[in-house]
Amino acid sequence: MIKKHQPVIDFIRSAYQTTAFIPLHEPKFVGNEKAYVIDCIDSTFVSSVGQYVDRFEQEMAKYTGAKYAVATVNGTAALHIALKLAGVGPDDEVITQSLSFVATCNAISYCGAKPVFVDVDRDTLGLSPVSLEAFLSANATRTTGGCVNKNTGRKISAIVPMHTFGHPCRIDAIADICEEFGIALVEDAAESLGSYYQGRHTGTFGKLAAFSFNGNKTITTGGGGMIVTDDEALAKRAKHITTTAKVPHPYEFIHDEIGYNYRLPNINAALGCAQLEVLPRLLESKRAISAEYAKFFAGTRFNFVQEPINSHSNYWLNALVLEDKQERDAFLKDLNEAGVMSRPIWRLMNELPMFSGCQSTDLSNAKWLEERVVNIPSSARIQ
């Protein structure tokens, strides 16, 4: 029986020129990855000390335009420390979007804080400044000790927007609201390396931001993350507490607070340095595929998600908004059965058991998108 979505399957197969299984996003090691990893092995510096860590940090700072960058073992660890350094503590509240990968809420929870969910915008898929402003106007009050939720008496210590699939959210409006209410802005930029809002790199609008170099991200270090900030003191604190809070000394073990072993090993940073060199080619190739998708899906009943206005997106994962949940389920079944990987967007965080009791606003856009959005193959086509 011919599948209802055969034309889509055929198109994706022609775009990737293969009859084999097509993954959603595969890493591409087409530069100096092998050479740098071998260099680590030859030098024996494969672990927590080595020149590639410093170099990767410097190059990430340069690339994003942030003043400082601190490498971590993964993106979740980067978010955890970014939140902690933004002042998030036990029993605080942190506002974020319910439509996100679970790591955002996990990191909030590691600080002992509670996520509060506001809605997203349908066009950006990211945190809605209108929903945020509505929640704060109704519930928040500025005190000398910071912004407080009048209903719970808890401090609202941070706001964490996420740039979904690499598409920048309305980060300038969100930054203005953070300013107005005296709340720290921490961007979850895990998905948006290479994405810009009004010419400025995502992750540079708030106090701190986190990037991820997991295996499925735009560039990968196997596993890895990065905290970026313009604040020198915060950058120094980030480096200190992610490296067991060890006080520099030629041979003695002295640690001055409870720290974390969140260091990125040198061998992973070596991969990162090579991947950053290839990043412009990866982005160019990813945007070329997205342009082909946009052209193919124009005039069909499939709504291809394009970069929002004023933005330049990395198109990390290409996405479609389908007509309804039934259509989504049929689409997922057809493509996956045909060996063309497709996945639904995440379940809403407020529907997961551990976050189901959290406060939230009306989440109708998030719910609407959750039932309709799928990702389709997005790997760069370079060998």
Ligand X SMILES: *Cc1c(COP(=O)(O)O)cnc(C)c1O
Name the residues that contact ligand X, by CB under 6 A. 74-76, 79, 100-101, 103-104, 162, 188, 190-191, 212, 214, 225
**Residues 148 and 156 sit within 8 Å (Cβ to Cβ):** yes
Closest residue by Cα to residue 178 from 211, 210, 209, 212:
209
Closer to ligand X by Cβ: residue 102 or 148:
102
Closest residue by Cα to residue 205 from 190, 217, 188, 219:
188
**Residues 282 and 380 sit within 8 Å (Cβ to Cβ):** yes
Helix pair angle (266-297, 51-64), 10° resolution: 30
Give Cα separations from 259 to 84, 126, 239, 263 (angstroms).
12, 32, 10, 11
Least CB distance to ligand X at residue 153 (A):
29
Closer to ligand X by Cβ: residue 50 or 224:
224
Closer to ligand X by Cβ: residue 74 or 202:
74
Pairing of strands 208-212, 184-188: parallel
Least CB distance to ligand X at residue 102 (A):
8
Least CB distance to ligand X at residue 217 (A):
6
Is 123 buried (19+), middle (13-18) or exposed (0-12) by CB count in 10 A? Answer: middle
For residue 347, which phi and psi values (nearest 5 degrees)?
-65, 145
Least CB distance to ligand X at residue 312 (A):
19
Query: Any bridge partners for residue 155, and if so which?
Result: 148
HSE value, Cβ hemisphere, 13 Å, CA-based, for 7 = 7
Closer to ligand X by Cβ: residue 103 or 274:
103
Least CB distance to ligand X at residue 80 (A):
9
Closer to ligand X by Cβ: residue 74 or 139:
74
Least CB distance to ligand X at residue 131 (A):
18
Nearest residue relative to ligand X (C-beta): 75
Least CB distance to ligand X at residue 61 (A):
19
Q: Which two tokens stand for residue 225?
A: 């993350």
Query: Any bridge partners for residue 285, and if so which?
Result: none
Closest residue by Cα to residue 184 from 92, 262, 104:
92
Closer to ligand X by Cβ: residue 140 or 279:
279
Q: Count of H helices and E strands in the chain?
A: 11, 16
**Residues 216 and 229 sit within 8 Å (Cβ to Cβ):** no
Least CB distance to ligand X at residue 220 (A):
9
Closer to ligand X by Cβ: residue 238 or 338:
238
Least CB distance to ligand X at residue 79 (A):
6
Residue that has been written with the tokens 């609202």 in this structure: 156
Q: Which run of H or E residues covers position 146? A: strand 146-149
Closer to ligand X by Cβ: residue 128 or 212:
212
Closer to ligand X by Cβ: residue 8 or 103:
103
For residue 97, which phi and psi values (nearest 5 degrees)?
-95, 145
**Residues 316 and 379 sit within 8 Å (Cβ to Cβ):** no
Least CB distance to ligand X at residue 118 (A):
16
Closer to ligand X by Cβ: residue 188 or 370:
188
Q: Which amino acid is at 339?
A: G
